[in-house]
Structure 1
Amino acid sequence: MRLARGQTAVVTGAASGIGRALAHRFAAAGLRVVLADIEEAALAETAAQMAADGAEVLAQVTDVADADSVLALADAAYGAFDAVHVLCNNAGVGSGAEGRIWEHEARDWQWAFSVNVWGVFHGIQAFIPRMIAGGEPGHVVNTSSGDGGIAPLPTASVYAVTKAAVVTMTESLYAHLRAETTAIGASVLFPGPHMLRTGLWESHRNRPQRYAKQRPRRNPYRTLTQWEAAMKQAGREVAFTPVEQVAEHVVEGIGADRFWMLPASEHSDRQIRARAQSMLDRANPAYLESFILD
């Protein structure tokens, strides 16, 4: 799909991190941008800054875990701009789960799935029928992660499982769009190839009361800054990928109608090969033995 001035992009999780970078990049390409986020103040700030820079934007406070909230987002987008050409189901959270998988609280899973999986489905359900009915070229980008989307990450198993689900959901979406012979493409995004400075580390700030933890954490939450400092103290330098680079990768991928928005990475390639070979060999997952689970 060729991005062109006057088209409309919808981005969830648009008030910070990858979502905000995507919004800026689409605006730079001349697109009108619908910004959706659960954080009202940060959303208003982002929208005001983009409007001051000359972008045509609409901000809509949205809880992607709530189907009615996402339907309201679609109504607002079509009410303002008549059409949607790009949909980025990008909003995501961690989980806050600790310990072995059998020690996790059910609410950790419920919260992570409500945003990372149901949030993507709600976006698909609210927008795709209207995009198909519009008859114009379009593209859907669902944000996954190498942590789960490429290979399991036992140290963050809840998050990893949700991101694995996003991959399969997007593969199914791709097949269904092809079966409908639409001009709408689909992609799964693996941000990277390195760590990212996003608000995901502090996503617990937006955890709804209905999913509140039922017992105190054994360890306090760590910010990204604290984690990075701990890594440096341990003698490990951490590489970061700018979110603007991720946004550029998405724009290039849409233009190329590329399903796998997966940046080049020897680390990722090794993970893919090891996991695939284990399956082909019907062998136990030896590639997981490198994880140290404290």
Structure 2
Amino acid sequence: MQLRAGQVAVVTGAASGIGLALARRFAAEGLRVVLADVEEEPLRAAADELIADGAEVLARTVDVGVREEVVALADAAYDTFGAVHLLCNNAGVGSGAEGRMWEHEPNDWKWAFSVNVWGVFHGIQAFVPRMIAAGEPGHVVNTSSTDGGIAPLPTASVYAVTKAAVVTMTESLYAHLKAERARVGASVLFPGPHMLRTGLWESHRNRPGRYAKQRPRRTPYRSLEQWEAAMKEAGQDIAFTPVEQVADLVAEGLAADRFWLLPGSEHSDRQIRARSQSMLDRADPSYLEHFILD
């Protein structure tokens, strides 16, 4: 899909991080942008910034885990701009789960799934039928993660499971769009190749009451800055990928009509090969041993 001035892009989780970087990149290409986020004040600040730079913007406060709110977002986008050409299902959260999987609170899983999985599904159902019916070129980009989307991350299993689900959902969407001979494509995004400075680390601040934790955490939440400081104290240097680089990857991938929006990374390639070989060999997942030893 070629990005052209006048097209309309919808981005969820658009108030910060990857979502805001995507919105800025699309606006710079002359697209009209629809920003959706659960945080009202940062969303308004993001919208004001883009408007000041000359972009046409619609901003809506949306909890993507609530189907009715995503449908209302689609209605507002079409009422305002008359079309949607690009949908980025980007909103995501952590989970706050602690301990082994059997010790997790069900609400940790319910909340993560409501945003990371159901949020993507709600976006597909609310927008894709209208995008297909319009008969114009369009595209859906669903944000996954190398943590789960490529290989399991047992130390953050809830998050990893949701991101694995996003990959399979996007593969299925791709197949369904091809079967319909639709002019709408699909891609799955793996931000990286390194760590990213996003609001994911503080996503617990937006956890809705319906998914509240039912017992106190054993350890306090750590911000990205606190985690980074702890890593440096332990003698480990952490590399970060600028979110603008992720937005560039998406724009380039759209132009090349790529399904896998996966940056080059020796680490990721090793994970892919190790997991694939384990399956082909019908062998135990030895690539997880360093987690088992923890």
- TM class by shorter chain equals over 0.9
SS of aligned partner of 2:119: helix
Output the CA distance in 1 between the equivalents of 2:288 and 2:164: 16
Q: In the alignment, residue 175 of structure 1 is paired with which amino acid?
A: A
Q: CA deviation at 1:293?
A: 6.3
Match of 1:73 in 2: 73
Output the CA distance in 2 between the equivalents of 1:214 and 1:14: 30
Q: CA deviation at 1:127?
A: 0.1
Q: In the alignment, residue 100 of structure 1 is paired with which amino acid?
A: R
SS of aligned partner of 1:291: helix
Output the CA distance in 1 between the equivalents of 2:238 and 2:287: 22
SS of aligned partner of 2:290: coil
Match of 1:174 in 2: 174
Change (3 A) 1:293 1:122: farther
Match of 1:245 in 2: 245
Query: Can you give the 5+ residue segments of structure 1 that lack an aligned partner in the other structure?
Result: none
Output the CA distance in 1 between the equivalents of 2:2 and 2:233: 46
Q: In the alignment, residue 105 of structure 1 is paired with which amino acid?
A: E
Output the CA distance in 1 between the equivalents of 2:212 and 2:63: 16
Output the CA distance in 2 between the equivalents of 1:45 and 1:51: 10
Superposition RMSD in Å: 0.7
1:90-109 correspondence runs (5 A): 90-109=90-109
Output the CA distance in 2 between the equivalents of 1:135 and 1:159: 35
Residues 174 and 186 in structure 1, CA contact (< 8 A), matched pair in contact too = yes
Output the CA distance in 2 between the equivalents of 1:145 and 1:256: 21
2:236 is the counterpart of 1:272: no
Output the CA distance in 2 between the equivalents of 1:3 and 1:94: 31
SS of aligned partner of 2:191: coil
Match of 1:124 in 2: 124
SS of aligned partner of 1:34: strand
Residues 155 and 293 in structure 1, CA contact (< 8 A), matched pair in contact too = no
Q: CA deviation at 1:290?
A: 1.3
Output the CA distance in 2 between the equivalents of 1:293 and 1:229: 24
Match of 2:194 in 1: 194
Could you tell me the TM-score, scaled by structure 1's length?
0.99
SS of aligned partner of 1:289: helix
Could you tell me the TM-score, scaled by structure 2's length?
0.99
Output the CA distance in 2 between the equivalents of 1:251 and 1:84: 16
Match of 1:257 in 2: 257
2:115 is the counterpart of 1:115: yes
1:5-24 correspondence runs (5 A): 5-24=5-24
Output the CA distance in 1 between the equivalents of 2:225 and 2:252: 31
Output the CA distance in 1 between the equivalents of 2:149 and 2:86: 22
Q: In the alignment, residue 194 of structure 2 is paired with which amino acid?
A: H
Query: Can you give the 5+ residue segments of structure 2 that lack an aligned partner in the other structure?
Result: none
Identity %: 79
Deviations for 1:105-159, whole angstroms, at most 9, x for unmatched residues?
Answer: 0000000000000000000000000000101000000000000000000000000
Residues 13 and 37 in structure 1, CA contact (< 8 A), matched pair in contact too = yes
- After the TM superposition, list the runs of 4 or more consecutive aligned residues in structure 1 that deviate by more than 3 angstroms: none
Match of 2:155 in 1: 155
